Amino acid sequence: MGRHGTIAGRKEKQDAKRSQVFTKYARAITVAAKAGGDPEYNVSLKHAIEKAKSINMPNDNINRAIKKGTGELAGETYESGSFEGYGPAGVAVIVETLTDNKNRTTSSVKHIFDKYGGNLGVPGCVSYMFDRKGFILIEKTDAVSEDALMEAGMEAGMEDMIVNEDSYEIYTDPGDFDAVTEALRAAGYEFVEADVEMVPSMTATPSDEAALKNLKKLVEMLEENDDVQKVYTNCDVDLED
């Protein structure tokens, strides 16, 4: 079981919070579309649309979000941001946001950190413990040959592949992410998830059960906030159990 949790756990979590996930992905599409509404010429928009389609977001929702970004429809103006700090047991936490009210988001994130035994820090206080990497998650099935996937990934330029009980985690340099995803899609592989993420270069293992419980709650509450897009930790214990 890897740091991303089981495939079944991820799908169950997405299903339970589908409408909330739609809201987050719609914001990401709207922001990306500001640089142009054609995904063939806007890589960020292309990635945002692919992520939305991976959770079966309706095309009407996707098109409406694009039009808000290009100005064809009225909509809010979102600003990206990030917060860094420590959760219980000294676990490093990075929170990426898209918000139309920065003060509201800052207040909410700080409140969640404080409530569950964390400490919100200054920019850079924990990001040095992470590297930005392209990440591709593929479900392990009888139809997927580990050797063939490894060969296809290496030819496309992947850096590493981790084999879990029910999945394959593929990592790339951010600059090679598009080439690797396109090559693997062309080879017929389907992705559970594909994105550029913050991957911990050093990890923490909380041993105190109470601290771990609070850490899980902290991450859960951050993820439930509509302004929060992604939450990263350097905890090497599965927080979705």
Residue 11 has pLDDT above 90, yes or no: no
pLDDT at 224 over 90: yes
Structural domain containing residue 218: 80-128+202-233
Query: Is the per-residue pLDDT at 18 higher than 80?
Result: no
Please give the average per-residue pLDDT across 183-190, as a whole number: 94
Phi, psi at residue 80, to the nearest 5°?
-80, 150
Residues 137, 170, single domain; the answer is yes
Domain holding 57: CATH number?
A: 1.10.10.200
The tally of domains found in the chain comes to 3
Ranked by mean pLDDT, the top range of 7-11, 44-48, 89-93 is: 89-93
Calculate Rg over the CA atoms of the chain. 18
Cα angle for residues 225, 230, 231 (degrees, 5° grid): 90
In a domain, 28, yes or no: yes
Give me the CATH number covering residue 155. 3.30.70.980
Please give the average per-residue pLDDT across 130-153, as a whole number: 95
Q: Report how far apart, in Å, the C-alpha atoms of 86 and of each of 29, 105, 177, 211, 224 are.
A: 30, 18, 29, 12, 19
Span 90-101, average pLDDT: 96
Q: Which residue has the higher pLDDT, 51 or 162?
A: 162
- Indicate whether 155 pLDDT > 60: yes
Confidence of residue 10 (pLDDT cuts 50, 70, 90): low
> Distance of alpha carbon 65 from its chain centroid, rounded?
19
In this prediction, residue 241 has a pLDDT band, given cuts at 50, 70 and 90, of: low
